[in-house]
Amino acid sequence: MASFEEINIPQKPPMVMVDRLVRADEVIVESTFLIRDDNVFCDQGIFTEAGLVENMAQTAAAGVGSRSYESGKEPPVGFIGGIRNLKIELYPEAGQVITTRIIVEHEVFNASVVRGEVLLDDRVIASCQLKIFLI
């Protein structure tokens, strides 16, 4: 679908945690990300909890940005209002490619509740629920 240059998110390197937008519809957004050793969220070659959460949030933002772009609108600015039920089964390592899936559970006005899942080789290694507010 879209490469990093085409992903419409407000973050700029080195804070970008999404390489490619694979899918973006009204319910599901998917991205891929190659974890590099020099990533700001890598600690001794391990992608940390903060990186996993930021990756999920940026995947959600990329989905909103993609849909806004397709409808000819400027993407809204958003922020995380809450994180619930964060579970991390495995921390991925530098050199690995993760796939992140965002599933929209509820949308009311400018607020969304989404479920984020980070997969490594088709195995869910991290998940949480995010409350996202758009300005």
Q: Are 108 and 46 in contact (CB under 8 A)?
A: no
pLDDT single digits (tens) 55-78: 999 999 999 888 877 778 887 888
Query: How many structural domains are present in the chain?
Result: 1
pLDDT band at 122 (very low <50, low <70, confident <90, very high): very high
pTM of the predicted structure, to 2 decimals:
0.91
Per-residue pLDDT tens over the stretch 73-108: 887 888 999 999 999 999 999 999 999 999 999 999
Closest CA to 19 of 4, 7, 8, 5: 4
Q: Which of 121, 122, 104 is nearest to 113 (CA)?
A: 104
- Print the domain residue range for 16: 2-134
> Residue 111 is part of a domain; what is its CATH number?
3.10.129.10
Distance CA 36, CA 105 (A): 31
What the block records as the tokens of 16 is 């970008």
CA-based nearest residue to 76, from 134, 33, 27, 2: 134
Per-residue pLDDT band at 5 (split at 50, 70, 90): very low
Q: Which residues pair with 79 in a beta bridge?
A: 133
